[in-house]
Structure 1
Amino acid sequence: MMKYSGQTRVLVAVDCIIFGFDGENFKLLLIQRGFAPQRQKWSLMGGFIQPAESLETGAQRVLKQLTGLEGVYLEQIPGFSEPIRDPVERTIAVPYFALIDIHKYEAQLSSEYHAEWFLLSEMPDLIFDHNQMVEMAKMRLRYKAALHPILFELLPEKFTLPKLQILYEKLYETTFDKRNFSRKVLSTGLLVRQEDKDKESSRKGAFYYKLDKEKYYDNFEAFLKFIPNPEKFLV
């Protein structure tokens, strides 16, 4: 088999930044690294690309190993390529962020990796440049959520408008006017109101809604108009 002469081997890895939402808070799924260097330190879930894999296929494999889930929303962000980022061997890392409804994975999470959910605002110090990856992924998610309704990937099939508002408030670290938020989100036409209510949070209760999947995929920019001052997140 032909090879390029005089070239030095460089490894390529994928790292998955796995965001979840538990109905109240944004969370990040981390594992304890099982080998040196920095063994037992907290880390993103990652792995080396295999010869027959594309980057996305490798990311999907890594995600399935940890959560057992397939068909999860994945998006690539810029790679990390500093020559000394990995002290063992020259490795280029290509991160992907994933959006998971926490309650879908609970019975499937692998115990092999000692995975644990952390509040995004309280994550521990991570190995190598993984903290930078998380920050970049968070900024990218804010950017995308200002333009597209991708945050629905974090919600169960049925949800209330108050839960949806909490989801957006937590991501953007701000507060929305309740009436204005409800009016604007309903004006997108993406939600279908259900007959039943969630009465756990109040006596009156809040109607459940479901996402109109057809409109969701056909009108992916519907949510741009209700993110306040979206330009400050589009950097």
Structure 2
Amino acid sequence: MTIATKLTGPARGRETTVTGIDGAGKSTLAARLRQALVGAGHPAILVGKHTTDVPMNPELSAYLARLNEVVYRRDARVAQACGDHYWLLALAAWYSLHDELVIRPALASGTHVILDNAHHKILARYAANPEVSTHLAKQVFAYLTDPDLVIFLRIGAREALRRKGEFTSLETGHSGSSEENFIRYQDTVLAKLRQQEQNDGWLALDVTGMDRDAVLKTAADAIADRLQLTL
């Protein structure tokens, strides 16, 4: 008797990204979602803007760490001198390499990815910048893996500032150092994000007045419903 066997690899992992303005609670939610997935028995990793570990490859990990230092640990004066177009392309290099070396291999191995600080906020910031072509900004990120679910934490800038308590010059769009500068800029970025929320795979959550547990439950329910992953 002949028995036909079909060799298959692990089921592809699913990618969930969390986006929103600064202070929306992205990092908190992303970390808790990863914990919930692991607690439910799913292989999952959390990927953020300082993730530089490439499994079993110390040389590539070291390279990612060096690029991360250039992109995210820069001197503010140097950053402004380099100009907006340079930083758009530098960020695109970081996100593309992150996608190639960390995210795609994880998904291919059957590991779920929770992505904090996804490129959607970067697109919104550049859409609010008249000096840089919105088309160009979209094109340089077009290579990235499409997430299975984007959770958009929607909150006004004034409430986000109340939660954050402090902010950087980047978070005001380098428009000034006052709280009103932060609020004006972040509300502009929020409006640009809301233009993206009509995209397929987006789930917009109004988190104003919601505590962390309520946000987690709503997001976990969405993952269970849309991605068929029990949490």
Q: Which has the higher contact order (CA 8 A, sep 6+)?
A: 2
TM-score range for the pair, normalised by the shorter chain length: under 0.3
Whose strand fraction is larger, Structure 1's or Structure 2's?
1
Give the TM-score of the pair, scaled to structure 1: 0.27
State the structure with more CA Rg: 1
Give the TM-score of the pair, scaled to structure 2: 0.27
